[in-house]
Structure 1
Amino acid sequence: MKIDKIINNNLVRAFDNKDKEVLVMGCGLGYQKKPGEPIDEKKIEKIYKIENKNISDKLMTLLSDIPLDHIQASNEIISYAKYSLGKKLNDNIYITLTDHISFAIERLKQNLGFHNALLWETKRFYNHEFLIGMEALKIIKKRLGVELPEDEAGFIALHIVNAELNSTNMDETLYVTKLIQNILSIVKYHYKIDLDEYSLNYERFITHLKFFAQRMISGEEIESDDENFCEMIKKQYKDTYECTEKIAAYVSKEFKHKLTEEEMMYLTVHIRRITKQT
Structure 2
Amino acid sequence: MEVKKVLNNNVVIALHSELDEVILTGKGIGFGKKEGDPVDESGAEKFFVLNNEQEQEQYKQLLIEVDESFIGCMNECMTILENRFQLQLHEHIHVALTDHLYYAVHRIKQGMEIRNPFLQETELAYPAEYQAARDLLFHVETCTGISMPEGEIGFVALHIHTALTQRPLQELNEHTRLVSGLVEHIEETLEVSMNTKNLDHQRLLRHLHQTLERIQREDYGDEPDSLKNVLKYEYPLCYNLSWKLIKMMQQALKKPVPESEVVYLTLHLQRLSRKHK
TM-score bracket relative to the smaller structure: 0.7 to 0.9
Answer yes or no: is 1:143 the counterpart of 2:148: no
Query: In structure 1, how many angstroms separate the alpha carbons of the residues matched to 2:196 and 2:227?
Result: 29
Conservation of the 8 A alpha-carbon contact between 2:2 and 2:39: yes
Q: Which residue of 2 aligns with 1:192?
A: 191
| Structure 1: gaps of 5 or more residues | none
Following superposition, the deviation at residue 228 of structure 1 comes to 4.5
Following superposition, the deviation at residue 229 of structure 1 comes to 5.2
Conservation of the 8 A alpha-carbon contact between 1:222 and 1:260: yes
Matched residues, percent identical? 27
Following superposition, the deviation at residue 222 of structure 1 comes to 0.9
Following superposition, the deviation at residue 71 of structure 1 comes to 2.0
Q: The residue matched to 1:261 in structure 2 has which SS?
A: coil
Answer yes or no: is 1:206 the counterpart of 2:205: yes
Following superposition, the deviation at residue 246 of structure 1 comes to 2.0
Letter in 2 for 1:160: I
Q: The residue matched to 1:33 in structure 2 has which SS?
A: coil
Question: What is the correspondence of 1:62-211 to structure 2 with a 5 Å cutoff?
Answer: 62-84=62-84, 90-123=90-123, 125-164=125-164, 166-170=166-170, 172-195=171-194, 197-211=196-210
Conservation of the 8 A alpha-carbon contact between 1:195 and 1:274: no
Query: In structure 1, how many angstroms separate the alpha carbons of the residues matched to 2:16 and 2:71?
Result: 22
Q: What is the count of residue pairs matched by the alignment?
A: 275
Conservation of the 8 A alpha-carbon contact between 2:48 and 2:91: no
State the Cα deviation string for residues 159-216 of structure 1 (Å, max 9, x = none).
334445634444x333212221222233333332345533544333322222222344
Query: In structure 1, how many angstroms separate the alpha carbons of the residues matched to 2:87 and 2:229?
Result: 37
- From the superposition, tell whether residues 168 and 194 of structure 1 become closer, same or farther in structure 2 (CA, over 3 Å): closer
Conservation of the 8 A alpha-carbon contact between 1:224 and 1:262: yes
Following superposition, the deviation at residue 25 of structure 1 comes to 0.5
Following superposition, the deviation at residue 152 of structure 1 comes to 2.8
Conservation of the 8 A alpha-carbon contact between 2:9 and 2:31: yes
| Structure 2: gaps of 5 or more residues | none
Following superposition, the deviation at residue 118 of structure 1 comes to 3.7
Question: Bigger shift: 156-165 or 175-184?
Answer: 156-165
Q: State the TM-score, normalized to the length of structure 1.
A: 0.78
Q: Which residue of 2 aligns with 1:249?
A: 247
Conservation of the 8 A alpha-carbon contact between 1:5 and 1:12: yes
Question: Bigger shift: 95-104 or 40-49?
Answer: 40-49
Letter in 2 for 1:204: R
Query: In structure 2, how many angstroms separate the alpha carbons of the residues matched to 1:113 and 1:197?
Result: 24
Answer yes or no: is 1:271 the counterpart of 2:269: yes
Question: Superposition RMSD on alpha carbons, in Å?
Answer: 3.4
